[in-house]
C-alpha cells in the first residue's frame, strides 16, 4: 500500500536535504496508473483535512484563552460567536455568574447529542491541576463537532461547542479541485463534455476522466461577428433560432437557445454569417489542489503569525523572507484574483482589498461562497507578523476580487474573459487565474491579449490531472503557466505538466485564509499560481519601470533549476526564487540580464514590420 509522507514542518532556514523524499519519482517509473493516482490524491485530501482540523482547533483555543485573559464584561461572550461563526454554543463562568450564548441555528437535537461531551468539558475545568481539554470530534446529523473548555488564572472559565464544518468543506472542495470526482456533473447547467480540440462527445464518469475532457454549455454559443449585427438582424435571429443574448462585448455575443443545441447553432452561424469564430461556451473550473514600510533587516526574521512556523513550509522554500530585504511590496500594486470571490472582512485580509466586481451576479458584492478565492488571496496578501493566522508573500500588495466562478466553483469562458477585461480597465497590474479547462477559446484569448498589450502580468494554474494536455488559459503565450511542487522539490503528483509550463511553485498542503474568518490547508496548482502572482507584484514594486514581458523573463531567468537541466516539462525554467528575482530586479545587472531577450524581441518587431 502506497502512502504520501506528511508535509514536514519546515522552519525558516531548514535545508531541503532534511525533507523526506517524495514518492513521485518512483510513481513515474511505472506506466500511468489511474487507480494509483486516485490513491495519491485521496491521501492528499486526508492530509489537508488533518492540517485544517489542527489549525481550526488551534485558532479557537488561542482566542478562547485570549478572551478569558482579558476578563470580558457582561454580554461580551457574544463577541466570540461573531469572531468565530463555527462556535455553536458557549457558556462563560466568572465569579458566581454564568453567561450563555448560542447560534440561532442550534437545535435541541444537537444540544442533546452534545450534552455528554459538554459534561466532560465542564468536569475538566473543575478537576484540580487541569486547565481544560479539547475533545475528539463527534458526528450529529452528518456534521462534525467538538467541545473545548479552558480555565484561566483569574478564575474565569469557558466551555464551547464548535462545528468542524470547515474540515468537511475542505474535503468537498479538494475532491472537486483535485478531480477525484467528475466535476462539474453533466446535466447541471446543461453541461456537456468533449474531447479537447475535437468537440467529439465523451462522458466523464470518474475523476480520472477529467484530464481528457472539456466542458461546455450545450444550449449556448459564443460568436464574434466581423461586423456587429443590427438590431433588426438580432431580432430576426431571436425569432428564427429562439435566441436570447446572454452577454455582449463589442462584436462578441453569447447566445442561448431554447430550441437548438450548440452544434446546430455553430453550423448555422458559420454558414450564414462567416464570423471570426463561433465556438462552444466552455466552463472553466478551479485548479486547486508589520513593520513600517521602508528598509528592514529580515535576515533572521520569523513572522509571528500563528501557523507560520509549524505549517508554512512554502515561504522558506522559495526564499520569501530574504526577499523582503529588497522590498516588502507596495500598496500601489494590485493583483486581481479571478476566482470565486474573497471574504473582504477576513481578519487577515482587512485593509488589503480594493474594489472588485461580481461578474456572475453584477448586483452582488464579490463575496466568496466557495472558499477557493479567499484561500488564493491569502497566499498573496494575508497580513504578516500580526499574531494572526498565516503570513502572505507581500506586506502591502492590494487584492482586487473579481468573482468569475459561481457557488459550484465553475464559471463560463465569457465570465472569465469579462473579468480579465474589467480587471485590466480598473488598474490591475497582475492577474491570477487559478482555474482552467482543456479547451482554448478565441474570445478568452482576445481578452488575454487585451490585458497583455496593456502591460498586465498574467499568471494561471496548469491543472490537477497529472496530464501533459495543454490547459487553458495557462497554455496561452501571454500567460505564465504554473505547475506545482512538493516540499522536497519534486513536481507534485497531481500537477499537470508540458512544454507550456513557465515556472513552478509550492502547491501541496498550503495553509491560507478561508471564509468564515478561518484557515484551511489546500493542495493544487491553484495554490501554486498565486505564489507566482505575488512574486510578480513584488518585482513590480521593486522596479516599477519593468514591463510585463521583462517581469516574466526575470521570473524564468532567476528560477531555481529543478529536474532536467534547463527548461523541462515538469518545472518549466524551475521553481521561483523570491530573493533571487528581487535582487535581480533592483541590481545594476538587471538590464544586462534581460538584454538578450529584449534584443531578440526588438529584432523580431523590425522583421514583422511591413515594408514602407
* Mean pLDDT, residues 13-28 taken together: 37
**How many of the other CB atoms lie within 10 Å of CB of 372?**
31
Identify any residues that bridge with 146 across adjacent strands, giving them in sequence order. 162
Stronger pLDDT, 19 or 421, i.e. the higher one: 421
Q: Cell numbers at residue 441, please?
A: 477559446
Residue 46: is its pLDDT beyond 60?
A: yes
Residue among 419, 339, 407 at smallest CA distance from 373: 339
Q: Torsion-angle region of residue 30: left (phi > 0), alpha (psi -120 to 50) or beta? A: beta
Residue among 569, 567, 548, 549 at smallest CA distance from 559: 567
Q: What is the pLDDT of residues 133-146, one digit of tens each?
A: 888 889 888 888 99
What torsion do the CA atoms of 176, 180, 185, 191 make, to the nearest 10 degrees? 90
Residue 279: is its pLDDT beyond 90?
A: no
Specify whether the CB–CB gap between 473 and 436 falls below 8 A: yes
pLDDT at 179: 59
**How many of the other CB atoms lie within 10 Å of CB of 291?**
14
Q: Cell numbers at residue 198, please?
A: 475535437
**Phi, psi angles (nearest 5°) of residue 268:** -60, -50
Q: Cell numbers at residue 151, please?
A: 480555565
Q: Which of 117, 156, 372, 445 is catalytic?
A: 372
Residue 73: is its pLDDT beyond 90?
A: no
Q: What is the pLDDT of residues 185-239, one digit of tens each?
A: 444 333 333 344 444 444 434 434 344 444 566 778 889 999 989 888 888 888 8
Give me the chain's average pLDDT, please: 81
DSSP for 545-589, please give it: T--HHHHHHHHHHHSBP-SSSSSBTTTBT-B--HHHHHHHHHSTT
526 is catalytic: yes
Identify any residues that bridge with 357 across adjacent strands, giving them in sequence order. 402
Residue among 516, 536, 553, 571 at smallest CA distance from 84: 516
**Cell 494575508, residue located:** 382
Query: Beta strands 501-506 and 398-403: pairing type?
Result: unpaired
Q: What is the pLDDT of residues 292-330, one digit of tens each?
A: 444 556 766 889 898 998 899 999 999 999 999 999 999
Q: Which of 483, 509, 526, 537 is catalytic?
A: 526
545 is catalytic: no
Stronger pLDDT, 271 or 287, i.e. the higher one: 271
Q: Cell numbers at residue 108, please?
A: 435541541
Burial of 325-343, coded b for 16+ CB within 10 Å and e otherwise, reads bbbbbbeebbbbbbbbbbb
219 is catalytic: no
Query: Beta strands 430-433 and 334-339: pairing type?
Result: parallel
Q: Which of 305, 339, 367, 570 is catalytic?
A: 339
How sure is the predictor about 500, in pLDDT bands with cuts at 50, 70 and 90?
very high
Q: How many residues does the chain have?
A: 612
What is the Cα–Cα distance from 529 to 571, expressed in whole angstroms?
A: 13
What is the Cα–Cα distance from 351 to 12, expressed in whole angstroms?
A: 27
DSSP conformational letter for 437: B
What is the Cα–Cα distance from 498 to 599, expressed in whole angstroms?
A: 27
How sure is the predictor about 562, in pLDDT bands with cuts at 50, 70 and 90?
very high
Burial of 302-318, coded b for 16+ CB within 10 Å and e otherwise, reads ebebbbbbebbbbbbbb
Helix/strand/coil (H/E/C) assignment for every residue in 372-420: HHHHHHHHHHCCCCCCCCCCCCCCCCEEEEEECCCCCCEEEHHHHHHHH
Query: Beta strands 430-433 and 457-461: pairing type?
Result: parallel
Residue 592: is its pLDDT beyond 50?
A: no
Residue among 352, 548, 394 at smallest CA distance from 458: 548
Chain mean position to CA 548: 22
Stronger pLDDT, 598 or 231, i.e. the higher one: 231
DSSP conformational letter for 449: H
Specify whether the CB–CB gap between 284 and 216 falls below 8 A: no
What is the Cα–Cα distance from 358 to 230, expressed in whole angstroms?
A: 29
Residue 106: is its pLDDT beyond 50?
A: yes
Residue 567: is its pLDDT beyond 80?
A: yes
pLDDT at 441: 87
What is the Cα–Cα distance from 498 to 491, expressed in whole angstroms?
A: 12
Specify whether the CB–CB gap between 132 and 163 falls below 8 A: no
Q: Cell numbers at residue 148, please?
A: 473545548
Residue 144 DSSP SS3: strand
pLDDT at 7: 28
pLDDT at 236: 85
How sure is the predictor about 11, in pLDDT bands with cuts at 50, 70 and 90?
very low
Residue 512 DSSP SS3: strand
Residue among 56, 60, 52 at smallest CA distance from 149: 60
Amino acid at each position: 500500500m502506497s502512502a504520501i509522507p506528511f508535509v514536514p514542518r519546515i522552519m525558516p532556514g531548514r535545508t531541503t536535504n532534511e525533507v523526506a523524499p517524495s514518492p513521485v519519482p518512483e510513481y513515474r517509473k511505472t506506466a500511468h496508473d489511474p487507480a494509483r493516482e486516485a490513491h495519491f490524491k485521496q491521501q492528499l485530501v486526508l492530509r489537508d483535512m488533518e492540517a485544517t482540523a489542527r489549525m481550526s482547533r488551534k485558532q479557537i483555543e488561542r482566542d478562547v484563552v485570549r478572551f478569558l485573559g482579558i476578563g470580558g464584561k457582561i454580554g461580551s461572550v457574544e463577541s466570540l460567536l461573531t469572531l468565530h461563526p463555527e462556535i455553536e454554543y458557549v457558556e462563560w463562568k466568572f465569579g458566581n455568574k454564568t453567561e450563555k450564548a448560542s447560534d440561532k441555528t442550534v437545535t435541541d437535537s444537537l444540544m442533546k447529542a452534545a450534552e455528554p461531551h459538554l459534561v466532560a468539558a465542564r468536569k475538566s475545568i473543575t478537576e484540580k491541576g487541569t486547565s481544560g481539554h479539547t475533545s475528539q470530534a463527534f458526528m450529529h446529523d452528518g456534521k462534525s463537532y467538538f467541545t473545548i473548555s479552558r480555565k484561566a488564572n483569574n478564575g474565569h472559565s469557558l466551555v464551547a461547542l464548535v462545528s468542524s464544518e470547515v474540515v468537511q468543506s475542505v474535503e468537498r472542495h479538494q475532491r472537486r479541485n483535485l478531480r477525484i470526482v467528475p466535476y462539474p456533473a453533466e446535466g447541471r447547467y446543461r453541461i456537456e463534455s468533449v474531447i479537447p480540440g475535437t468537440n467529439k462527445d465523451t462522458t466523464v464518469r470518474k475523476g480520472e476522466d477529467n484530464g481528457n475532457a472539456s466542458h461546455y454549455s450545450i444550449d449556448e454559443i459564443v460568436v464574434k461577428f466581423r461586423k456587429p449585427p443590427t438590431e433588426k438582424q438580432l431580432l430576426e435571429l431571436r425569432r428564427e433560432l429562439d435566441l436570447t443574448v446572454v452577454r455582449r462585448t463589442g462584436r462578441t455575443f453569447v447566445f442561448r437557445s431554447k430550441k437548438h443545441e450548440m452544434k446546430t447553432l455553430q453550423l448555422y452561424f458559420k454558414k450564414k454569417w462567416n464570423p471570426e469564430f463561433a465556438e462552444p461556451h466552455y466552463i472553466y473550473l478551479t485548479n486547486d489542489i508589520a513593520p513600517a514600510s521602508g528598509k528592514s533587516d529580515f535576515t533572521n526574521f520569523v513572522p509571528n503569525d500563528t501557523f507560520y512556523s509549524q505549517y508554512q513550509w512554502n515561504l522558506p522554500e522559495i526564499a520569501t523572507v530574504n526577499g523582503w530585504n529588497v522590498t516588502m511590496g507596495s500598496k500601489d500594486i494590485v493583483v486581481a484574483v479571478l476566482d470565486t470571490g474573497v471574504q473582504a472582512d477576513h481578519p487577515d485580509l482587512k485593509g488589503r482589498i480594493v474594489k472588485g466586481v461580481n461578474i456572475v451576479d453584477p448586483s452582488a458584492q464579490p463575496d466568496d461562497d466557495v472558499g477557493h478565492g479567499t484561500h488564493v488571496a491569502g497566499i498573496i496578501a494575508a497580513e504578516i507578523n500580526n499574531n494572526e493566522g498565516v503570513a502572505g508573500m507581500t506586506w502591502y500588495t492590494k487584492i482586487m476580487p473579481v468573482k468569475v466562478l459561481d457557488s459550484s466553483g465553475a464559471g463560463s469562458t465569457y465570465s472569465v474573459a469579462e473579468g480579465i477585461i474589467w480587471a485590466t480597465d480598473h488598474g490591475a497590474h497582475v492577474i491570477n487565474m487559478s482555474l482552467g479547462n482543456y479547451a482554448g477559446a478565441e474570445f478568452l484569448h482576445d481578452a488575454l491579449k487585451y490585458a497583455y498589450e496593456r502591460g498586465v502580468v498574467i499568471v494561471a494554474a496548469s491543472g490537477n490531472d497529472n496530464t501533459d494536455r495543454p490547459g487553458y488559459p495557462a497554455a496561452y503565450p501571454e500567460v505564465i503557466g504554473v505547475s506545482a511542487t512538493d516540499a522536497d522539490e519534486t513536481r507534485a503528483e497531481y500537477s499537470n505538466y508540458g512544454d507550456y509550463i513557465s515556472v513552478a511553485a509550492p502547491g501541496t498542503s498550503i495553509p491560507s485564509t478561508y471564509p468564515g474568518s478561518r484557515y484551511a490547508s489546500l493542495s493544487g496548482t491553484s495554490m501554486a499560481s498565486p505564489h507566482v502572482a505575488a512574486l510578480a507584484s513584488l518585482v513590480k514594486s521593486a522596479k516599477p519601470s519593468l514591463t510585463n514581458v521583462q517581469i516574466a523573463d526575470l521570473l524564468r531567468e532567476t528560477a531555481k533549476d529543478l529536474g532536467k537541466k534547463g527548461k523541462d516539462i515538469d518545472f518549466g525554467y524551475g521553481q521561483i526564487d523570491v530573493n533571487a528575482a528581487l535582487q535581480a530586479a533592483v541590481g545594476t545587472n538587471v538590464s544586462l540580464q534581460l538584454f538578450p531577450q529584449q534584443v531578440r524581441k526588438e529584432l523580431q518587431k523590425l522583421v514583422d514590420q511591413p515594408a514602407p
